[in-house]
Structure 1
């Protein structure tokens, strides 16, 4: 057979795979599309250590203030004065920016206290509450209210936290408060805001003391709000269900197999897999990657251990829950895990060997993985296109409104260092477009043209959408995704809920209406702003902001 004939039959096969109704139910298969990388900025002036998408389609990005000047001026804003700073007493450079998705522009913000290794969450009104940090920032609460003008900036409240919160984790709760858990040498938790004098102080959580290991591998504990209102807490290798209202451990699970710690500085990552309200809700946690035990101490001596390649999944409501382990195509430490609009999970950034910390990792992993939670065991991972930029210690990633992944950061040095090192400080910003954004799927891509801005619990609502080639009603679903606060390989407050219903009717040529119901209760989806996506034949629409209340 001639080369021309072979190419013809390959193209014909691809056409059949893309556009046959049967195949549409299998999409996205990701067998032959690896996604695309796009450089957005060679330098934003700071290293993206922390990221949060806001309801106005802007992303707040910041690093730290205790390592000297950044590469961008504050542009007339108030300089930072800190007589106790060991590097720079007066600093007129910015350590935070606000990036605009629509214009691809950014402007500086003013941070007066040190945000190094801090945490955050969005309040129900969309305000970012940001907690803790290092030195003069470790007891600080910072507030950033989204705005479309040029005047909004950080507002800081010193001495507002009851304890030092450095490497703590945050989780938004069903009542709209934020729980702040742990931190270095902090075996306790507290709430913001406090509704009474008794809730404005810290509460002991001995589980964090018990799981402290060697170099304190329970920093940035993994927190997930469960559908029953309790918290899943994972620290080092152990995990519990915790009733924060009663300060009581409800259940403890078997340790994750392998005895390798997964929290900072071992820095694996964790997600609560999508919650589907169309079926009995069975919450399932997934934890991937990390460093082997003693990797930090070995890296300090110049020995870089191979990172963990395992992922563990745990259905926590089973009578006898047990971790199910599978292997990624390559080992990874310091990767970020994000739930994509189609319900798949992307694993992005990180290294193959070593651990988190200054100069403690080697062999960057530049190819993301995409994981299909409902795929057949052994073939759930797809390997994506490689970035040209290593993203190691202090890199970040967040899901954007249009379905891209925003990626930035990587500064495995105590200061900005661009020369004479294996992995220079990276101040760039880039995006990764997963395969579902490929033009080959444009005919199947739904476009929302009308929906509710406010969705109430249990209440019916509808949205109208267009699509060039409609497959069938069962190929449509509606889901909401909570924007996460990302730092140090953990995306705090991240969750997806597939909403109940999705009844479709045709209202015109290529125009359809889908009816669905709001989340059943705040424990399933805490009040606040979410990105609503419509999925058709495995291909998601762009997201639209909705408020759940």
Structure 2
């Protein structure tokens, strides 16, 4: 990556596979934050905590000659977490503005999450969100919930549990971050899936119909996304991916029951077998997820 600074542990940037389009011909990866070269030695040997990196690199890994496109975040961050949201945006949350991963080596907690919109024009993709009051440093985590909130928990920068007499105590609490799409002013745009019931079984390439209601349809119509449940540690969410599904038919008109027909991913190359949350997204506002089992 341009600049040559490390992004892997203990410099601990975070990375995510950006949402895959229907019948995708390309795949992009986004890597954000980290710590400059030498940060770990400076912290461990000299108790000097270098500022974290404030850059992101984006690369299309399916290109014949992949090249990095660099962007600057509004807030520098190391040990952050990146969470794919149901509409396709990325949430950057947790971490520190100085130091590295490792026992006692993180400083200046970053309390403000940042939203990244992959489809926006370069230079306008980042948006700072409401701050938390709880530092989340080494050994913190974040995961998407079915209702669209992000569950955040943990933080223990110490060898043992340390609850008193330290600058950043061991944190056992959980809190939920609610993105703007959950605001009361968005309620009329929020779809509600009424059918089918939960735990639907799908085969690869299978078309399936969902019934839903919505107070006001967006001009752009609805999209359907499929999100794999992830599990995060050390700034990386395993199993995380989001796919925009092909939509064959969507009913029109305001009020009453509507139907949308979506098509499951074509192969395991796009979506490994397992459980996923399916969301109907209306003008960027997602429904609660419906669990499906793809096999």
Q: Does the pair score TM above 0.5?
A: yes
| TM-score for both structures, normalised by structure 1 | 0.52
Unaligned runs of 5+ in 1: 1-255
- Return the match for 1:335 from 73, 76, 80: 80
Partner of 1:525: 271
User: In 2, distance between residues paired with 1:427 and 1:406?
Assistant: 13
Task: Report how far residue 507 of structure 1 moved.
Answer: 9.0
Structural mapping, 1:10-409, within 5 Å: 256-277=1-22, 280-300=24-44, 301-409=46-154
The question of whether the paired residues in 2 share the 8 Å contact of 1:470 and 1:510 is answered with no
Name the CA distance, whole Å, in 1 between partners of 2:254 and 2:28: 40
TM-score of the two chains, using structure 2 as the length reference: 0.96
Query: In the alignment, which residue of structure 2 is the partner of 1:78?
Result: none
Are the equivalent residues in 1 in contact too, given 2:144–2:229 (CA < 8 A)?
Answer: yes
Picking from 403, 424, 428, the partner of 2:173 is: 428
Determine the structure 2 residue equivalent to 1:491: 237
Please, which of 180, 186, 190 is the counterpart of residue 441 of structure 1?
Answer: 186
Q: State the alpha-carbon separation in 1 of the partners of residues 173 and 159 from structure 2.
A: 18
Equivalent position SS for 1:462: strand
Does 1:516 pair with 2:262?
yes
User: How many angstroms does 1:532 deviate by?
Assistant: 0.5
Shift of 1:283: 0.2
CA contact 2:84–2:91 (8 Å) conserved in 1: yes
- In the other structure, the counterpart of 2:212 is 465
Q: Give, in whole Å, the separation in 1 of the partners of 2:62 and 2:252.
A: 39
- Measure how far apart 1:419 and its partner are: 1.6
Q: Which runs of 5+ in 2 are unaligned?
A: none
Could you tell me how far apart the structure 2 residues matched to 1:436 and 1:407 are?
18
Q: CA deviation at 1:509?
A: 4.0
Equivalent position SS for 1:382: strand
Determine which of 240, 249, 260 is the counterpart of 1:503: 249
Aligned length: 292
How far off its partner does 1:508 sit? 8.9
Question: What is the SS of the residue equivalent to 1:293?
Answer: coil
Q: Is the 8 A contact 1:475 1:538 kept in 2?
A: no
The Cα offsets for residues 442-486 of structure 1, whole Å up to 9 and x where unpaired, read as 0010000103711211111110000011234x4211110001121
Give 4+ residue runs of structure 1 displaced > 2 Å after superposition. Answer: 506-510
| Preserved CA contact (<8 Å) 2:154 2:171 | yes
Q: 1:503 and 1:344 mapped to 2: Cα distance?
A: 24
Partners of 2:217 and 2:254 within 8 A in 1 = no
CA distance in 2, matches of 1:456, 1:379: 38
Q: 3-state SS of the aligned residue for 1:520?
A: coil
CA distance in 2, matches of 1:342, 1:335: 21
